[in-house]
Structure 1
Amino acid sequence: MDGKLLARIGAIVFVAIAIAIAIAITATAIQMTRKEDVPAEAPARLIQPDSAPLRQGQRRCQQLGQKVADDAECLRVWAETRDRFLGRTRAPAAPAAPEGR
């Protein structure tokens, strides 16, 4: 290799490194001047106050151990918990039969 070719390669490498450094500095400056997005309102609570009895029922059933399979109240609590988790709504109760027939 002659001296001119080596000088050109060195200049190209130097310019490439200088450009990479300039891009890194610019990206850092942009990132440092960005403002954090603050949520407009506080996140909603996941547990609604009306679910407190359900939660208490879940805790009671949790403590029963194997006896829970025979407990009708625990089976009801589990069904309600499952329906809430899956987003199902309760089926309306069967309409009462008219009296006098």
Structure 2
Amino acid sequence: MDGKILARIGAIFFVTFAVTATAIELARKDEPPIYRSIAVPAEAAADPLKAKLRRCQRLGEAGTSDSECLQTWAENRDRFLTPSQPAPQAPGPQDIPQNPPVTREPIVKEPVPAVDSHTNEAR
């Protein structure tokens, strides 16, 4: 075959593919977006601190001057930043266990058989 004929056949395939892809894209139906509401878990309503925090959140910038919101935020910070258990003490020299001396068997080296380097070179 000629080079010109191959180029024309390739161009026909390319144009056919482009027209088909365009037709498929235009025939597609757009799906409406799915909107989901955010539900507040039931356990959040049971916690009075969370209810106060949500109220302060709804106040927005006005919450920064509300004394109840300031107290609620301080209580929330204390809840997370105050350790519930005392911090562990660093181990002292008396806490480090003394291990008994380890006895090891001597390393035995086995002789390696000698290889004749001249026999492997010519192969």
TM-score range, shorter chain: 0.3 to 0.5
TM-score (norm 1): 0.45
Larger Rg: 2
Which structure is richer in relative contact order (CA contacts within 8 A, separation 6 or more)? 1
TM-score (norm 2): 0.38
* Structure with the higher fraction of residues in helix conformation: 1
